[in-house]
Amino acid sequence: MDETAPRSRKRGTLRDRPLGRILILAVVLGAAVLAARSCADNNPDISQERAVAIALSVATFVPDDHQVRFLRRGIPSQGVWVVSLYQGDPRQPTRVQLVVIDSETGEIVDDNA
């Protein structure tokens, strides 16, 4: 081998190297996490207590108790309160009414009546 000949060392781009691929993947995943967190508003304008009061105002019977959940649904996602009003044992209620309330406006989306 000729000592004066320059040594040829293959230098690829960053994306061709394993460490480069890992760095690119980490950057893309980080951007996706930041975008997802910034798009999801988990602080509804209507409180849980207000949602229950709205649901009770449209109840078709006098409930023994209620359960409340905050959910996101649809595309684009919309935050809603789902209030379940029931009579009897929570595991086997005798009567149930689900009321879905927009978490931003307080408007009843569905009252299951």
Instruction: Please tell me the pTM assigned to this model.
Output: 0.62
- If you average pLDDT over every residue of the chain, what do you get? 84
pLDDT band at 20 (very low <50, low <70, confident <90, very high): confident
**Of 78, 57, 55, residue with least CA distance to 67:** 55
Contact status, residue 98 vs residue 86, Cβ threshold 8 Å? no
pLDDT band at 2; cut points 50, 70, 90: low
Structural fold of domain 48-110: Nuclear Transport Factor 2; Chain: A, (3.10.450)
Percent of the chain at pLDDT exceeding 70: 80
Round to whole Å and give the CA distance between 62 and 86: 8
